[in-house]
Structure 1
Amino acid sequence: MKDLWKNKVFVLVASADLMQQIGIWVRNMALLFYVIEHTGNDPVAVSLLNVFEYAPIFVFSLIGGTLADRWNPKRTMITGDALSAVSIAVILAFVLAGWWQAVFVATAVSAIVSQFSQPSSAVMFKRHVPEALIPAATGVTQSMMALFTIVGPMLGTVIYTWAGVESSLVLLIVLFALSALIQLALPTYKREPRPAGGSVWKEMKAGWAYMRGQRNLLLITFSFALIGLGAGLIQPLDVFLITERLHLDKEDLQWFYALGGIGMLIGGGAAAAFGRKVNLRLVVAAGFTFLAVSVAVEAMSIWTGLTASMRFLVGAAMAFLQVVLGAALVSMVEEDYIGRVSGTSTPVMMAAMIVGTASSGFLMKAMTLVPTYLLASAIVLLSVPVALQLRFPARAATKTDAGG
């Protein structure tokens, strides 16, 4: 870990990520409360915010990953944050003019830009962070996201309550501008000349062909889909688990979310510290098994302490698996395909989560709460035989161990 913090590229990217995470949560909470106030608690308007946030992931993720493999990643990251700052400034002007509906555009623009900048960060890691340190680097970024899952809503709420939407948008402009300035210090990145006549569509197809030829990539992506489907089935039902099984108030759900966030923080940290020293195939299979069992126990529990413990462990297991598998993806993929692979695996998991989320309410009505959770547990358990088929070359393990 000490060597990781001496790596200039990692420190700069992590610092920019910190600015972006603060900005994301200031944006999420400010726009949520602003829309609620202007629509009189209209649930349709609130749900539209989620649509404007997640829809660009499906539309732009693959093309963003492909362009990340074509463009200069440093320039892409800087341009993305600069465009975010400019777009928020435009939205602020509309808000000041009384056109509050413009906040939906702010959410969409931010989501679109992230689909170009995130794969570019992976490209920078691939070139400038030693392979032995990639699990630790991935773990730190995952832990940062988990930390803001805990403190982000509180931070965003305090800023909005204290300063209002206009000041929150001004802060967003400052944060994205700072992120762009930080990334100016990244090393210059030069790509090899591309063959004449190459098009985005051809390179997208080349990316799919590359994934089809890499058995491990297909297995990991399929595992992501199963985890996403299982998580999507239970995520909307958490409030019913709290009220029906534990007989608590719905407002108590926030504490269980906080426990899950703390678990993610610790799980990501554990993956950063030990991810490069483990047998990936066995630890991933064991992690999937543990996750499935934890979901089942959480569903059947009628004791608050046990349910809370399971929520913490589920968060830790999810983060650990995401970091380990994410680091494995970066390590095994050739640099020229990093963006396209990232741009494919992410929307597959998101699509599975959306399918699960859309189905959960109908399943709960048809088969009640606990069987729905057990079905989600069984779906997660299906990923265990998938994980056991993973094969990593012995030389890669030796190299990684030597780096520790």
Structure 2
Amino acid sequence: MKKFAGIFQNRSFTKLFLANFTSQMGSTIGLTAFMFYLLDRFSSQPVYATITELMYSLPMLAVFFLIGVLADRVDRQKITVYCDWIGAGLSLMLIGAIYIGWMPFVFAVLFLRSGVQKFFFPAEHGMIQGILKKEDYTTAAGLNQLVMSLFMLFGNGLGVLAYWTAGIYGAILVDTISFIISALLIQTTVVSEEARLPNGPHKLNELNLRMVFRDFKKGFSYVLSNKLLFTLIIGFFVFGIVNGGFSVMPIFILKYKLAPESYEQYSIVVGFVFGIGVLLGSFIASMLAQKVKLYYMISVGLIIAGSFTALASIPDDIYLFLGVLFISALALPLVNIGIGGWFPRIIDPKMMGRVQGLISPLNMVSHSLTLTFIAYSFPASLTIEMLYWVVGGCLAIVGIFYMIVLPKLAEEKASLVEENAAEQGV
């Protein structure tokens, strides 16, 4: 807890943290409310809920080659601020689209808003890496995981509450206000030029397509030349499958198996139980990160989470299902904190945007393919149990792979760093 308190003494980090918290909370409320709106209005067409998730993931395929280059070449603070203001405007447009009731227009606005927001996180991660010390990276990752668990605890519940009390328009208005607050917080944050512009200042007219593709190629070559980084990134393709499945699996198993008549109420319970698991797991992982090798944390967390995710397909009793899901949630922070604390240590700050720009599309491709597969095959030829088997199996397989490969690569990386330090000291 002392480390958590100490990191907030950095005022720049505190403002960026609060901006991210506010924006994500608003987005969680808005997306949850919209999902229930679709399930209520189009209860016989679960494909709409899946399409909504696709509108949040597919835009990455259109902008993936731009986001990382811009995050490394353009003022990162301005990118995040513009993303929030444009997101607020598109949220108001979404309210109008829902009022009109033409679903292609609704999905088009969701697509545009999601596309704009894809530029936010690489720029924000780059700034955070620049304003923190190396020893604070794991603490920041633990803090972010704690926040994520709070979203799981209260986000879905607040989304449902907003939908029940203020309707879909009120819930999306909360989303709009969260974007505005986030923009104002980031605007008033003091960030050093080195963190905002790690590669020096550039004008937009200098960023032609030739330069964009050249920088993108450099980022790709940088990843390929770093065996440890490349191995970690391989896992993100599988994580995309997992994220795609988890984005719809809890609601689907409640509505179509465990609680068809009361799935809305139980969705709050599922969110609460999962959130409690992740919250407790975050405290455990934060303590273990100071004593255990990060690659062991990541591997063990994946194997446990995957095994219990697959087991969650078995129970017909909702309370037994919740108990199994709790154990899976307890293990996930071991993975997230391990990777979140490790990445900034092994990535050159000047390349952070481009590395993030490669990870995100890889994750989103598998995420989108998974949702497309679910949209066409569920419930016609794919059962809800099969979804849990696939997702759980993917997690466990990656965990075993990491358990075998990461220790050796981590030792090689450490030896290389020591050799370079020795050469510089001569």
User: Structure 1 length normalisation: TM-score?
Assistant: 0.82
**Deviation, structure 1 residue 209:** 0.4
- Across the aligned residues of Structure 1 and Structure 2, the Cα RMSD in angstroms comes to 3.6
Unpaired runs of at least 5, structure 2:
419-426
8 Å contact kept, 1:27–1:168:
yes
Q: Within 1, Cα distance between the matches of 2:73 and 2:388?
A: 48
Residue range with higher mean Cα deviation, 11-20 or 35-44: 35-44
What is aligned with 1:388?
407
Following superposition of structure 1 onto structure 2, how do residues 292-311 of structure 1 map, counting pairs within 5 Å?
Answer: 292-295=306-309, 297-299=311-313, 307-311=321-325
What is aligned with 1:52?
55
Q: Within 2, Cα distance between the matches of 1:233 and 1:94?
A: 27
Unpaired runs of at least 5, structure 1:
398-404
What is aligned with 1:167?
170
Deviations 1:238-274 (A, max 9, x none): 6787799xx8434356634432232222323433444
Q: Within 2, Cα distance between the matches of 1:100 and 1:241?
A: 25
Return closer, same or farther for 1:165/1:71 CA change in 2, 3 Å cut-off.
Answer: same
Deviations 1:52-89 (A, max 9, x none): 11111333344212211111111111111011112223
Return closer, same or farther for 1:224/1:385 CA change in 2, 3 Å cut-off.
Answer: farther
**Deviation, structure 1 residue 379:** 2.6
Tell me, yes or no, if structure 1 residue 216 matches structure 2 residue 228: yes
Q: Within 2, Cα distance between the matches of 1:93 and 1:302?
A: 41
AA aligned opposite 1:285: S
Q: Within 2, Cα distance between the matches of 1:88 and 1:370?
A: 33
> Aligned match of 1:200 in 212, 229, 239?
212
Deviations 1:259-296 (A, max 9, x none): 22322223234334442443123332333333344345
Tell me, yes or no, if structure 1 residue 146 matches structure 2 residue 167: no
**Deviation, structure 1 residue 124:** 0.9
Residue range with higher mean Cα deviation, 388-397 or 338-347: 388-397
Residue range with higher mean Cα deviation, 297-306 or 277-286: 297-306
Deviations 1:114-169 (A, max 9, x none): 21111111111111011111111122223212321232122122223222333334
**Deviation, structure 1 residue 90:** 3.5
Following superposition of structure 1 onto structure 2, how do residues 5-404 of structure 1 map, counting pairs within 5 Å?
Answer: 5-35=8-38, 42-93=45-96, 102-190=105-193, 191=197, 192-193=200-201, 199-229=211-241, 248-250=258-260, 251=263, 252=266, 255-295=269-309, 297-299=311-313, 307-356=321-370, 358=373, 375-376=393-394, 379-380=397-398, 381-391=400-410, 392-393=413-414
AA aligned opposite 1:393: A
**Deviation, structure 1 residue 206:** 0.5
Q: Within 2, Cα distance between the matches of 1:97 and 1:157?
A: 22
8 Å contact kept, 1:136–1:273:
no
**Deviation, structure 1 residue 188:** 4.0
8 Å contact kept, 2:308–2:324:
yes
AA aligned opposite 1:339: G
Residue range with higher mean Cα deviation, 111-120 or 46-55: 46-55
How many residues are treated as equivalent by the alignment?
394
Return closer, same or farther for 1:285/1:277 CA change in 2, 3 Å cut-off.
Answer: same
Return closer, same or farther for 1:351/1:140 CA change in 2, 3 Å cut-off.
Answer: same
**Deviation, structure 1 residue 385:** 1.8
**Deviation, structure 1 residue 183:** 0.7
AA aligned opposite 1:388: P
AA aligned opposite 1:224: F
Q: Within 2, Cα distance between the matches of 1:136 and 1:298?
A: 31
**Deviation, structure 1 residue 3:** 1.3
8 Å contact kept, 2:94–2:110:
no
Return closer, same or farther for 1:169/1:224 CA change in 2, 3 Å cut-off.
Answer: closer
Q: Within 2, Cα distance between the matches of 1:393 and 1:383?
A: 17
Structure 1 residue matching 2:335: 3-state secondary structure:
helix
**Deviation, structure 1 residue 212:** 0.5
Identity of aligned residues (%): 21
Return closer, same or farther for 1:270/1:48 CA change in 2, 3 Å cut-off.
Answer: same
Q: Within 1, Cα distance between the matches of 2:139 and 2:255?
A: 38
Q: Within 1, Cα distance between the matches of 2:48 and 2:387?
A: 28
Q: Within 2, Cα distance between the matches of 1:141 and 1:20?
A: 13
